[in-house]
Amino acid sequence: MSSPFEYAPAPESRSIVDIKPSYGLFINGEFVDGHGKAFKTISPSTEEVLSEVAEADEADVDAAVKAARRAYTRVWSKMPGRERAKYLYRIARIIQERGRELAVLESIDNGKPIKESRDVDVPTVAAHFFYYAGWADKLEYSGFGNGNPQPLGVAGQVIPWNFPLLMLAWKIAPALACGNTVVLKPAETTPLTALLFAEICQQADLPPGVVNIVTGAGETGRALVSHPDVNKVAFTGSTDVGRAIAKAVAGSAKKVTLELGGKAANIVFDDAPIDQAVEGIVNGIFFNQGHVCCAGSRLLVQESVADEVLERLKRRMSTLRVGDPLDKNTDIGAINSAEQLARIRELSDIGEAEGAGRWSPACDLPSNGFWFPPTLFTGVTQAHRIAREEIFGPVLSVLTFRTPSEAIEKANNTPYGLSAGVWTDKGSLILHMANQLRAGVVWANTFNKFDPTSPFGGYKESGYGREGGRHGLEAYLK
Amino acid sequence: MTSTPTPTATAPQADFSDITRSDATLRRFLHGLPGVDQVGAEARAAALGTRSIKTTAKDYAIDLAIRMVDLTTLEGQDTHGKVRALAAKAMHPDPADPSCPMTAAVCVYPDMVATAKEVLGTSGVNVAAVATAFPSGRAALDIKLADTQDAVEAGADEIDMVIDRGAFLSGRYKAVFDEIVAVREACGDAHLKVIFETGELQTYDNVRRASWLAMMAGGHFIKTSTGKVQPAATLPVTLVMLEAVRDFREATGQMIGVKPAGGIRTTKDAIKYLVMVNEVAGQDWLDPDWFRFGASTLLNDLLMQRTKMTTGRYSGPDYFTLD
């Protein structure tokens, strides 16, 4: 495997980021101590302890919601849209200015490669704030709220660890644009960029209480979504937690949007642009270590080209570089946590036990930290667990089909329905497939492309409601 | 030390006679190749361009790139003196540093071959000649063949031919194929590089089809451009050609070389190409036998970066010979 052209390591400097030994909660524009027990956040690529973060208990959450309510009634909801837009634009510009700092911190705390945090996450975060800043003074033209749309009030938002900063932007930008105030809880394994975002809110002179950030784990999230003075709950994460949240808010007046799991089909027809399809398959499942709810984790490939696609896919996977997330040449970083690694291992072992063929390219994994090699399973059928359950890791299940109708049947035969991909040179087939696939997003000849102007959201157990685009406003307006 | 490209002798010559029988059979085959998605191909090329190359890898890449350069002058105003100077530079790119490798070849018009050969002798630097009514290719076949023979008799080691883009674009694939076969014949022992002028072929699908056509017709190298048409070499076009030679080897066992030409001026650009060679075709192609740069100004930037790597300082353009 050794090439004469071994790229020397090209690590991004950590010195641009100043990680404090401990962080408090961000309530009413200030950092305050939490009442709960502080917890540690570690770097998944080295297991090094990065910082101590306060845990918010019920009283802390209540204080945050009260601050948000005060800011909502006294300042934010009364402010004309064009004034709110100025704050959002300012935040977007600061995110751009501090982009490198945010990208480095995200990679340290999350384990994702700097290439992705720098080139995908942070630019898309800024784009979301810019995009929704543009909507803030045009809400009456949005088509929602009978021409005089009004904010809902205080939004309680709970986000996952796979895209800590991007999910924050997806939640906070539309909420603020519409005149709501927010209390946001980042995931317990990746709180640091949210806390840096809190500093950015201070830097932007955002009125106190408009954005509040409470850190903690499941209990903190539960306290937030069940708080009686929260008007809107927005959650991105696992289907199990989503179900619990739906139960918790049932019968209340709270509005809810849920973005949950997925088991997306990436469908490759025999007339597809094969080399680009292989890229799309790689991007679909190995982007962000497969920690993507819309990941193309089921490859459905037409039988006539299955061997060829697999051969090319394996060759391409052999060029993926796994390792230090801060190395600019790294394609695949660390698994976010020991728990997640254990789950990926468990499901992969089940795949093997059920008779699917397991393959990974030769790659040296670092000894510290949480690592899993890019993996594919061949000979998978709909009856295999790895074809049905979300693995949320760099594991691809390969299935085959013979006709478009078989592809549709198999693609739709899942409890989920978040995304799908279609690869063919035939435009009419793309449109036909897009109409038949029960998925919130259907990508054609591409995969995992995100843009603030394009709505995102799923069917069935993948959740309800849309985020992004004009549709994303609806969840924050009445 | 650069050796003349050797076709893999162990692999049996693949038989394409069923495919190359007529325009119809050729069209069926070429249009049956997997399509190229423009957006996807350009995105992949851009992504490969962001690889960060530092220190030891950069050292290696710069010397390799120098060894891959076909130092080129293709001007109407070329003189024997100019070609002599160019040939001397190809042998001693950096007179101040004997450790600096030689370039692969010097690329000139056929009437300059003898002059270049006289200077280069047995140095190991090849003489490449553009022939076949370069750059337009608009001449009768016997004139193109005579042009080729002229260059070969003058001592050219490599012939860079242009394809008939008019015939290709109007679907007369058989005519293009036959012409390449005839020129290859006329080359004798000289190695044949087939220039597509990708700027005129316009689509990536055409680039892939032209690649296969030239490979089946026996070209040793496929080359993007004459340098006389914009756009000349681009990363995505080269990506498609690298995929083609990779797939061709997979299908036939034969290795074909790739030469982007025109517009590659900086070390940074050259390294992007090498990264692409490494990750798309594979490390076997990281060799002057299988990858070349058609360039005239690239060499000096490589030399300047090379000096920077060894001394830690940048020197000005005056520290390097003009040509």
Put simply, the answer to whether B53 touches A319 (Cβ < 8 Å) is no
H helix or E strand, kind and range, residue B246? helix B235-252
Q: Is position B33 within any domain?
A: no
Which residues in chain B have Cβ-Cβ distances shorter than 8 Å to A446? 39-40
What mean pLDDT is predicted for residues A139-155?
A: 95
Among A8, A280, A446, the residue with its CB nearest the CB of B54 is A8
Beta carbons of A173 and A132 less than 8 angstroms apart:
yes
B32 touches chain A (CB under 8 A): no
Quote the minimal CA–CA distance from B315 to chain A in Å.
25
pLDDT higher than threshold 70 for residue B222: yes
Distance from CA of A257 to the nearest CA of B (A): 33
Instruction: Please give the residue of chain A at the shortest CA–CA distance from B42.
Output: A276
What is the band of B318 on the pLDDT scale with cuts at 50, 70, 90? Answer: confident
Residue among B50, B60, B243 minimizing CB distance to A5: B60
Asked whether the predicted pLDDT for residue B193 surpasses 70, the reply is yes
Residue B118 lies in a domain: yes
Q: What is the dihedral of CA A126, A127, A129, A130, to 10 degrees?
A: 120
Task: Give the Cα separation of B183 and B181 in Å (integer).
Answer: 6
| B35–A273 C-beta distance less than 8 A | yes
> Is B28 inside any structural domain?
no
Cα end-to-end distance, chain B, whole Å: 20
Please report the pLDDT score of residue A4 as a whole number: 74
pLDDT computed for residue A269 by the predictor: 98
Assigned token pair, A311 = 């051969």
Cβ of residue B309 closer than 8 Å to a chain A Cβ: no
Q: Tell me which DSSP letter residue A22 carries.
A: E
* B271-301 residue pLDDT tens: 999 999 999 999 999 999 999 999 989 999 9
- Give percent above pLDDT 70 in chain A: 99
Q: Do A4 and B286 touch (CB under 8 A)?
A: yes
Q: What is the mean pLDDT of residues B36-45?
A: 97
pLDDT tens digits, residue range A174-215?
Answer: 999 999 999 999 999 999 999 999 999 999 999 999 999 999
B120 falls within a domain: yes
For A64-82, how does the pLDDT look when each residue is reduced to its tens digit (9 = 90+)? 999 999 999 999 999 999 9
Contact state of A5 with B274 under an 8 Å Cβ cutoff: yes
pLDDT for B12 equals 58
Residue B322 confidence (pLDDT): 77
8 A C-beta contact, residue A325 and residue A334: yes
Distances, alpha carbon B317 to alpha carbons B100, B194, B270, B297, B299, in Å: 17, 33, 19, 11, 12
* ipTM of the complex, rounded to two decimals: 0.91
Write out pLDDT tens, residues B131-169: 999 999 999 999 999 999 999 999 999 999 999 999 999
In a domain, B10, yes or no: no
**Residue B247 to residue B212: CA distance in whole angstroms:** 10
- Which of A6, A9, A319 minimises the CB distance to B279? A319
Instruction: Quote the minimal CA–CA distance from A285 to chain B in Å.
Output: 16
In a domain, B308, yes or no: yes
As a whole number, the mean pLDDT across chain A is 96
**pLDDT tens string A249-263:** 999 999 999 999 999
Distance CA A354, CA A382 (A): 12
CB contact under 8 A, A273 and B60: no
Looking at beta carbons, which residues of chain A come within 8 Å of B286?
A: 3-5
Q: Are A194 and A168 in contact (CB under 8 A)?
A: yes
In the structure, what pLDDT confidence band is assigned to residue B4 with cuts at 50, 70 and 90?
very low
**B290 closest CA partner among B238, B221, B244, B235:** B221
pLDDT tens across A206-255, in order? 999 999 999 999 999 999 999 999 999 999 999 999 999 999 999 999 99
Q: Structural domain tally of chain B?
A: 1
The nearest alpha carbon in chain A to B240 belongs to: A275
CA distance B29 to A436: 33
- CB contact under 8 Å between A4 and B58, yes or no, is no
Q: How far apart are CA B220 and CA B257, in angstroms?
A: 6
Which pLDDT band, with edges at 50, 70 and 90, does A267 fall under?
A: very high
DSSP A44: T
pLDDT, tens digit, for every residue of A345-374? Answer: 999 999 999 999 999 999 899 999 999 999
Question: Above 70 in pLDDT, residue A59?
Answer: yes
User: Is A6 in contact with B57 (Cβ distance < 8 A)?
Assistant: yes
- pLDDT tier at A3, thresholds 50, 70, 90: low
CB contact under 8 A, A445 and B37: yes
Residues B189-194: what's their mean pLDDT? Answer: 97
Q: Can the peptide bond before residue A361 be classed as cis, meaning omega within 30 degrees of 0?
A: no
DSSP code string of A174-240? HHHHTT-EEEEE--TT--HHHHHHHHHHHHTTPPTTSEEE---SHHHHHHHHT-TT--EEEEES-HH
Confidence of residue A2 (pLDDT cuts 50, 70, 90): low
Look at residue B2 and tell me whether its pLDDT is greater than 50. Answer: no
Is B100 a member of any domain? yes
Q: Residue B54 pLDDT > 90, yes or no?
A: no
Look at residue B76 in the predicted model and tell me its pLDDT: 94
* First-last CA distance in chain A: 59
Q: Could you read off the pLDDT of B85-99 as tens digits, one per residue?
A: 999 999 999 998 999
pLDDT over 90 for what percent of chain A?
A: 97
Strand order in the sheet with A211-213: A30-32, A25-27, A211-213, A181-185, A154-158, A232-236, A255-259, A463-464
- Within a 10 A sphere around the Cβ of B317, how many other Cβ atoms? 10
The neighbour count for residue A166, using CB atoms within 10 Å, is 22
- Quote the radius of gyration of chain B (alpha carbons, Å): 19
**pLDDT for B9:** 43
> In angstroms, rounded to a whole number, what is the distance separating the alpha carbons of residues B218 and B181?
7
**Euclidean distance between CA atoms A174 and A17, whole angstroms:** 28
For the domain that residue B284 is a member of, what is the CATH number? 3.20.20.70
Report the C-alpha gap between B83 and B64 in whole angstroms.
24
Interface check B126 vs A, CB under 8 A = no
Question: Quick one: closest CA in A to B284, which residue?
Answer: A3
Catalytic residues of A: 259
**Is residue B111 scored above 70 in pLDDT?**
yes
Global pTM reads: 0.93
Give chain A's domains with CATH numbers: 22-260+461-474 (3.40.605.10), 265-451 (3.40.309.10)
Pick from B194, B191, B167: nearest CA to B180:
B194
Does B34 sit within 8 Å of A9, measured CB to CB?
no
Q: Domain of residue B263: give its range.
A: 41-312
Of A7, A275, A319, the CB nearest to B57: A7
**Of B34, B52, B286, Cβ closest to residue A329:** B52
B25 assigned to some structural domain? no
What's the whole-number average pLDDT of chain B?
Answer: 94
